[in-house]
Amino acid sequence: MQNKNRREDVRENFYEGKICSKERKDKRNQKQSNAFIKYVEINRYKEIAMNYADIKFPDIQDGEGIRVALYVSGCHFHCKECHNKDAWDFNYGKKFTNDTINEIIDILKKPYVQGLSLLGGEPLEPLNQEGILPLLRKLRKEFPEKDVWCWTGYDFDKDILNKMYKENKITHELINYIDIIVDGQFEIENKLTNLIFRGSTNQRKIDVKESLKNGKTVILKFGDESRYENKKAKIMHFEEFKKLKEENDDENINAIPIFDLNQINNFEEENIEPIEIKENEQSVAAKGINDNYIGGNL
């Protein structure tokens, strides 16, 4: 409706009456028409605002330390078995406004808050980049020491570093403000319940600053990789695992305990080599799973 009124205003101004030759009139009409299209484009663009689903504080699950997490709305990836389907819709949740930015900045003022986490939905949808940029500008100006983590379904090398970062000014600026990106879509066939800061093993933790400096992707460890990477371990249900552990009283059990029996079918055991589960890995992994059942003490 607002667009329509604006359009009418503009048309009236444009066609307000001077009598002139047909040629001049045509020329002027063409100019006006181009200007009008540009005007509508610009104003339509201005009216699009990001929505967000939630602000979580304090948040200790999405990145290191105590954080504030912004869950934006809108995601076109539509991963199979995504847990956040409501947030696929760009209109879901509330409008992201200057007040929202100030609310987040106020939280970040607390000295014990380590940083901001951006999740979704998809924070790097072009529309959402527009919404997030003013927040990150402010954050970087006021708290250069705080860190920013961002979860995206885009592939860091292909979609971000070699495309959006080079071709799009907004992405370029935005990515410069981010410290860690966890990239890749959620893949149900690579899902493990006890992963830290991600849902499936294909997702990577990327050091953005180092990647930009080196012109290639620099991958960091989540801390639980050795439990499945290039190694062979027995995947077993947690109850079975607990029994084995009790019976053997062995510190190093060559197994990855899981909670969902269906997951066992997703693994081909011959492709996984036995590994030792070290104590520090157990407690780190436990943080990401369920405090009640493990408490860091397998």
Q: Which residues sit at the interface with ligand SF4, rule CB under 6 A? A: 75, 77-79, 82, 84, 120-122, 153, 185-186
Which of 63, 153 has the CB closer to ligand SF4?
A: 153
**Least distance (Å) from ligand SF4 to the CB of residue 62?**
13
Which of 27, 85 has the CB closer to ligand SF4?
A: 85
Residue 154's DSSP bridge partners are none
Alpha helices in the chain (DSSP H): 2-15, 22-47, 98-108, 126-142, 165-167, 169-176, 208-214, 238-248, 261-264, 279-289
Which of 57, 77 has the CB closer to ligand SF4?
A: 77
**Least distance (Å) from ligand SF4 to the CB of residue 107?**
23
**Least distance (Å) from ligand SF4 to the CB of residue 154?**
9
**Least distance (Å) from ligand SF4 to the CB of residue 224?**
19
Which of 18, 80 has the CB closer to ligand SF4?
A: 80
Peptide bond into 121 cis (omega under 30): yes
Return the ∠ at Cα 43 (arms to 42 and 47), rounded to 5°: 120
Contact present, 187 and 198 (Cβ < 8 Å)? no
Which of 72, 161 has the CB closer to ligand SF4?
A: 72
Backbone angles phi, psi at 151, to 5 degrees: -100, 130
Tokens standing for residue 162: 């070699």
Output Rg (C-alpha) for the chain, integer angstroms. 25
Residue 17's DSSP bridge partners are none
| Neighbouring C-beta atoms of residue 255, cutoff 10 Å | 19
**Least distance (Å) from ligand SF4 to the CB of residue 157?**
17
Tokens standing for residue 293: 């059942």
**Least distance (Å) from ligand SF4 to the CB of residue 153?**
3
Backbone angles phi, psi at 270, to 5 degrees: -65, -20
Which of 77, 143 has the CB closer to ligand SF4?
A: 77
